[in-house]
Amino acid sequence: MEHYHSLFKQMETIIEFSTDGIYVVDKEGKTLMVNSAYEEITGFRREELIGKHMKNLVKQGYFGSSPKDVLDFYVKM
C-alpha cells in the first residue's frame, strides 16, 4: 500500500509542476485536481473547482457545454 501512496504522490507532483494546464475529473464528472498552470491560464482558482461536478460548473458559467465553447475560450485568451 505504501508503494501506491508513493506513486500517487509522484503523479501529483508531476501534474502540479507541468507547464501545461491540467484539469482532472473522475468518471462521474467530479473535479479531482487542477494544477497551477491551469489556474494561471484560465484565471479560475482550484478552490472554485475541486469537488464540483462539471455539469454544475457549466450551469454556473465556468465552462461552455460544447467542445466549440471550450475552443472559443482558449482562442480568446
The pLDDT tens digits of the residues spanning 2-18 come to: 999 999 999 999 999 99
Domain range for residue 46?
A: 2-75
pLDDT of residue 67: 62
The total number of structural domains in the chain stands at 1
pLDDT of residue 63: 80
pLDDT of residue 59: 86
pLDDT of residue 61: 84
State the number of CA atoms in the 13 A half-sphere of 36 facing the CB: 7
Distance from C-alpha of 2 to C-alpha of 10, rounded to nearest angstrom: 12
The domain spanning residue 50 has which CATH number?
Answer: 3.30.450.20
The pLDDT tens digits of the residues spanning 24-63 come to: 999 999 999 999 999 999 999 999 999 999 889 988 888 8
